[in-house]
Chain A
Amino acid sequence: MDFAFTPPLIASSELFFEGYRNTLLLSVGAMLGASVIGVVGASLRVWGGPVLSSIGGAYVEFFRNTPLLVQLSFFAVLFAPANLGISANPIVVGLIGLSIYTGSYVTEVIRSGILSVDSRQIEAARTLGLTQVQALRLVVLPQAIRTVIPPLGNLAIALVKNTAIVSAIAATELLKVAGIIETRTASFDGFLAALVAYWTITIPLAMLVDQAERRLGFSR
């Protein structure tokens, strides 16, 4: 046993945790971004009238039907200082790109959740004297949430896994650091550790979704 040998992961632990932090940041940040985009997008599609509704539809169909890798590569160049000058930071570009991409899916999920509640329930609620906002908040929302929690959970897990694609625009996230560690040490420990690290994010997320589903699904 050679004790002078430092295992590759220990030697590069600082780098590895930088990657882990950035993967977490991309996951959580894009989840928030995609949620906001999804709520706005779904509202436009359901209540936005013909023009806004078709704008929302075009957004969904475009970003849902093109590869994320191509979108990210395009945004990286488009946002660069020489072009739009929005950001040179691949993490920021990744956050925006992942939010827009995942947001298109979230829009559709929330839209279907709203539409799953029979519109006659709103009419009934209004007849009973509730305002439109009250009807949405007290009648539609509680039922819609129950419908959308499982698909939203799936999207969140897919999003965590999609953060790996941001490595293609040179973001220092888990996949990138695994590659760097492999180069430095000719060891694939970095990839093994990255797999475990993704798992530490997705498994608690899946459990959380499961719990929310059970708590909210009481009457279905």
Chain B
Amino acid sequence: MRRLIGFVMVTALAIGACTGGSGSSGSPAASTGGGAAASFSADSTMGKIKAAGKLVCGTKFDVVGFGFKNPTNNEVEGLDADLCREIAKAIGVPPEFVEAISANRLPFLKEDKVDIVISTMTITDERKKEIDFSKVYYKAGQSILVKKSSTIQKVEDLAGKKVCSGEGSTSEKNVRAKAPTAELLLFKTYTEAGQALADGRCEAVSTDDTILFGLAQKIADTELRGGQFTEEPLGIGIKKGKDDFVAFINATLDAMKADGRLKALYDKHVKPFSGKDVEVPF
């Protein structure tokens, strides 16, 4: 497994070196798709970021695989973090990371504390009223985490079983809809729900797979089953009124899809947990 991850990382680096351009020099990269990366008009959003000398990204610091601050080297790691790095590279500035949790990420955007938010944020109609979103960069969805010895294969198998989830989440609602006879145990945090799965108080934990990936790492002999049974499309959040920036980010995502950088990031960050290839959702 470790060798596989290493291989994937080397591949990702190689692809990055071939196609991404050298970020720090700010030389125009053909692959960004957003025009000449180095020269933006001064009153464009990208021009202002370039003048500020850094791209400030709000990411999670505690979600393994997406935004996780590694305590050993203080680097923010994961798909969200690397997307920020790629966008920063396309503009030609270094990235700066700020922790954006669910409760503060929209205010951070509105108050210009961050330029973008990439923080496992689901695109919803309600949020669209407050901020703009890029295109979907990852399709998260609710899934099930079970012990490897479990007979549960899909969400319908949860019927009559003890299922742990988080109080205050839509996950609870979704389980009740798909398996009405499941007995739900609701905890304040997913760490507690994970502990309950580990010591056998429940037979499955169900919530967004992005959270389950991290739990699966912490709890021995567990795995995700049954794929996604809801759709939670993740998008990059941008303050309203920056249409040029939305277009630039979408073009950068397109370019990353075209030259395989996006796929390489999925392989690097998500595949080790999900065990499956992730399709580009656009």
B168 partner residues in chain A, CB cutoff 8 A: 179, 182-183
Write the nearest CB–CB distance from A83 to chain B, whole angstroms: 6
B192 partner residues in chain A, CB cutoff 8 A: 170
Binds A, one of B50-58, B76-84, B198-206: B198-206
Which residue on chain A has the smallest CB distance to residue B201? A88
Assembled-state Cα–Cα distance A172/B167 (Å)? 11
Instruction: Give which listed residue, A80, A176, A179, contacts B200 with CB less than 8 A.
Output: A80
B188 is an interface residue with CB less than 8 A from chain A: yes
When each residue 161-193 of chain B gets 1 if its CB lies under 8 Å from chain A and 0 otherwise, what string results? 010100111001100000000001111100010
Q: How many residues of B contact A (CB 8 A)?
A: 20
Write the nearest CB–CB distance from A96 to chain B, whole angstroms: 14
Assembled-state Cα–Cα distance A85/B200 (Å)? 9
Question: Knowing A88-B162, A170-B196, A176-B167 touch, does A183 contact B201 (C-beta < 8 A)?
Answer: no
Write the nearest CB–CB distance from A73 to chain B, whole angstroms: 9
B187 partner residues in chain A, CB cutoff 8 A: 170
Assembled-state Cα–Cα distance A81/B201 (Å)? 7
Decide if A183 touches B169 in the complex (CB within 8 Å).
yes
A-B contact pairs, 6 of them (CB 8 A): A76-B201, A88-B162, A170-B164, A170-B186, A179-B168, A180-B172
Decide if A82 touches B200 in the complex (CB within 8 Å).
yes
Q: How many A-B residue pairs have CB under 8 A?
A: 46
Decide if A77 touches B167 in the complex (CB within 8 Å).
no
Interface residues of A in 127-177 (CB under 8 A from B): 168, 170, 172, 176
A184 is an interface residue with CB less than 8 A from chain B: yes
Instruction: Give which listed residue, A85, A90, A182, contacts B185 with CB less than 8 A.
Output: A90
Question: Knowing A179-B167, A180-B167, A183-B172 touch, does A82 contact B186 (C-beta < 8 A)?
Answer: no
B172 partner residues in chain A, CB cutoff 8 A: 180, 183
- Chain B interface, DSSP helix/strand/loop, else mixed: mixed
Decide if A82 touches B185 in the complex (CB within 8 Å).
no
Assembled-state Cα–Cα distance A176/B165 (Å)? 13
When each residue 23-59 of chain B gets 1 if its CB lies under 8 Å from chain A and 0 otherwise, what string results? 0000000000000000000000000000000000000
- Chain A interface, DSSP helix/strand/loop, else mixed: helix
Assembled-state Cα–Cα distance A77/B202 (Å)? 12
Question: Which 3 pairs of residues, A with B, have the shortest CB-CB distance?
Answer: A81-B200, A80-B199, A170-B185
Decide if A183 touches B167 in the complex (CB within 8 Å).
yes
A172 partner residues in chain B, CB cutoff 8 A: 184, 186
Report which A residues bind B (CB closer than 8 A).
Answer: 76-77, 80-83, 85, 88, 90, 168, 170, 172, 176, 179-180, 182-184
Decide if A82 touches B199 in the complex (CB within 8 Å).
yes
A88 partner residues in chain B, CB cutoff 8 A: 162, 200-202
Which residue on chain A has the smallest CB distance to residue B203? A88
Which residue on chain A has the smallest CB distance to residue B170? A183
B173 partner residues in chain A, CB cutoff 8 A: 184
Assembled-state Cα–Cα distance A179/B167 (Å)? 7
A85 partner residues in chain B, CB cutoff 8 A: 200
A176 partner residues in chain B, CB cutoff 8 A: 167, 186
B200 partner residues in chain A, CB cutoff 8 A: 80-82, 85, 88
A83 partner residues in chain B, CB cutoff 8 A: 199
A82 partner residues in chain B, CB cutoff 8 A: 198-200
A184 partner residues in chain B, CB cutoff 8 A: 173
Write the nearest CB–CB distance from B25 to chain A, whole angstroms: 50
Instruction: Give which listed residue, B169, B188, B195, contacts A168 with CB less than 8 A.
Output: B188
Assembled-state Cα–Cα distance A183/B165 (Å)? 13
